[in-house]
Amino acid sequence: MKFIKLDLLTLLISLFLFASCENTSTIGLEVDPNSAVQGDLVDSITINSRTLLDDVTETSQALRHPLGYLKDPLFGTTEASIAMVVNLPVNAYNFGSIPLLDSAVLVLNYGGEFYGDSTATYSIDVHQLDDNISLNGSFPSNKAYTHSSTVLGSKTGKIYPTTKYKVTDIVVGKADTLRTVTPQLRIPINKTFIEENIISINAENLKFNENFVRYLRGFKVQLNKTNSTGNGGLMFFDFAGTNSSLVLYYKKQNNATTGAIDTVSVSFPITTASNPIASTIKHDYTGTAVATQLANPNTQYSTTFLQPLAGLRNKITFPYLSKFSTNVGKIAINKAELVIDLSSGSDGIPYGAAPRLSLYRNDIAERRQNLPDNNTGTQTSSGDPRAFGATVFGGYFNTVTKQYVFVVTAYIQDLLDGKLTDYGTFLAPIPSTVSEFSVFPSISTGARSVVGSFKKTPAAGDNVMKLNIYYTKIK
């Protein structure tokens, strides 16, 4: 009897666990009417959607900074350049006795993101900045940074943003060795410029980093469109770490052995941990459907456009949600999902769809806020207890169904109950990693999307945007 009771208890526990488990393969997919979600379904609530210019955004502390020039048949052109500050390796750096420069290389560490044609030829130029940008208080995405017309260095060829690199590691007093480094772009810099502006400068300018930055000012890195080929692309660089720098290779006299010469290398860091890095981003929609939609903001089109890099977002509203509430009476929403179809044919190689979208709302002051379903709180706010985090909230691109799906149960319930007012709900592309979800424009990804709009009676195969609401009437 003891063993029979134990077996029965085990069986009951197993059945309970089986019934409570969620099939993770269905997360992010459109609701299946045969699934466990109970209640009446309505999927015909009108959604208005409009393509809007996104706001200018701060660029100095981005996880990745864009560089390149991209021609997109649907979105026009995008151009991105980088202004960067070069820092001292240490205060009062000393080049030693009679330094003789061998070479100088600007090393830019790839950030693991690339969007566009990887087979094209890219030509990248380096100039000296006219001003010390470290004195600026902000670094908006539309700000241009002036520079000298002299090209200090250039690199033309294919790019390899995911391929590790081997460099010669100089070891004083020992044989040089080969070292594998992170994927990086290496641009040779003019020796005369380095000799005159770094190695031979007054010791006072090498005493403190502030002095050095004020003297050197920094570099502007941009794409040379004339010497590049194809439709181009956007590469992204990581300045949050320590792998980007200006590296100098030079010879100096050995202090211990008279007449002996040492070959040494030194890295002048380029990192947001020391000084700002700024991006300038330009979009040109001339002659595209985007320009037509922006010029006609009151017209509902069958598709709308989403673009990162402070480009385009989508404003959606639910104009008849209150009418639905009046008609059906008091309800409890079991589940609500916003389902967004990608427009067919808009993601042809190399113009892949955005891997993820953000969804957020405006408050009465037009400040961006997380939806309740994604409001997990901050250090100063407890958040919403109904939020399950960004992963459950959704917005990831499903490559099989060609859809984005958001769980918006709490948000729609609050709109119906009058706890929140619909001041506008917004869509925009963001990077795919969970930690990079943000309601603000992202400059760390280049992928864009064209999405469908609401249709009252869609035909089979139509790409649409719709709101699925499963609800139970409260008596």
pLDDT in tens, 389-406: 889 999 999 999 999 999
Q: Is the pLDDT of residue 23 over 60?
A: no
Is there a domain that residue 420 lies in?
yes
Is residue 222 located within the same domain as residue 331? no
Domain count along the chain: 2
Is residue 389 located within the same domain as residue 265? no
Is residue 118 located within the same domain as residue 165? yes
The predicted-structure confidence for 250-273, as pLDDT tens digits, reads as follows 998 776 666 667 788 999 999 999
The closest of 286, 226, 237 to 78, measured between CA atoms, is 286
Average pLDDT (339-360) is 97
The predicted-structure confidence for 104-145, as pLDDT tens digits, reads as follows 999 999 998 999 999 999 999 999 999 999 999 999 999 999
Choose between 171 and 232: higher pLDDT. Answer: 232
Find tokens 């709101």 and name the residue.
467
Is there a domain that residue 270 lies in?
yes
Average pLDDT (356-375) is 97
| Full residue range of the structural domain in which residue 158 is found | 65-283
Is residue 73 located within the same domain as residue 169? yes
Is residue 265 located within the same domain as residue 170? yes
Query: What is the per-residue pLDDT for 225?
Result: 96
H/E stretch holding 390 reads helix 390-393
The predicted-structure confidence for 61-103, as pLDDT tens digits, reads as follows 899 999 999 999 999 999 999 999 999 999 999 998 889 999 9
Query: What is the per-residue pLDDT for 6?
Result: 40
Query: What is the per-residue pLDDT for 447?
Result: 98
Average pLDDT (204-219) is 97
Is residue 266 located within the same domain as residue 325? no
CA distance 157 to 28: 40
Q: Is the pLDDT of residue 331 over 50?
A: yes
First CA to last CA across the chain, in angstroms? 47
CA distance 379 to 340: 32
Is residue 399 located within the same domain as residue 359? yes
Domain stops at, among 251, 283, 315: 283
Domain stops at, among 230, 250, 283: 283
Q: Which long-range contacts (CB under 8 A, 24 or more apart) does 415-422 make?
A: 415/318, 415/321, 416/321, 416/322, 416/324, 416/325, 416/331, 416/333, 420/361, 420/372, 421/364, 422/317, 422/318, 422/321, 422/361
Is there a domain that residue 297 lies in?
no
Is residue 45 located within the same domain as residue 69? no
Average pLDDT (452-464) is 95
Is there a domain that residue 374 lies in?
yes
Query: What is the per-residue pLDDT for 2?
Result: 41
Q: Which amino acid does the sequence have at 396?
A: Y
Is residue 222 located within the same domain as residue 358? no
CA distance 69 to 77: 7
Is there a domain that residue 298 lies in?
no
Query: What is the per-residue pLDDT for 304?
Result: 99
Is there a domain that residue 4 lies in?
no
Query: What is the per-residue pLDDT for 255?
Result: 64
**18 falls in which pLDDT band (50, 70, 90)?**
very low
Where are the extended beta strands (E) located within 363-474?
Answer: 368-370, 394-398, 403-407, 425-430, 449-452, 465-473
pLDDT averaged over every residue in the chain: 90
Query: What is the per-residue pLDDT for 173?
Result: 64
Query: What is the per-residue pLDDT for 303?
Result: 98
Using CB atoms within 10 Å of the CB of residue 308, give its burial: 0 to 12 exposed, 13 to 18 middle, 19+ buried: buried
CA distance 217 to 338: 48
Is there a domain that residue 3 lies in?
no
The residues, ordered by sequence, that sit 6+ positions from 221 with a Cβ below 8 Å of its Cβ are 67, 81, 82, 83, 84, 106, 108, 124, 125, 126, 187
The closest of 292, 184, 225 to 79, measured between CA atoms, is 225
Is residue 49 located within the same domain as residue 70? no
Sign of CA dihedral 223, 225, 228, 232: positive
Domain stops at, among 283, 299, 317: 283
- In 32-189, where does DSSP find H-type helix? none
Q: Is the pLDDT of residue 20 over 50?
A: no
Is there a domain that residue 203 lies in?
yes
Is residue 227 located within the same domain as residue 254? yes
Q: Which amino acid does the sequence have at 450?
A: V
Is residue 124 located within the same domain as residue 233? yes
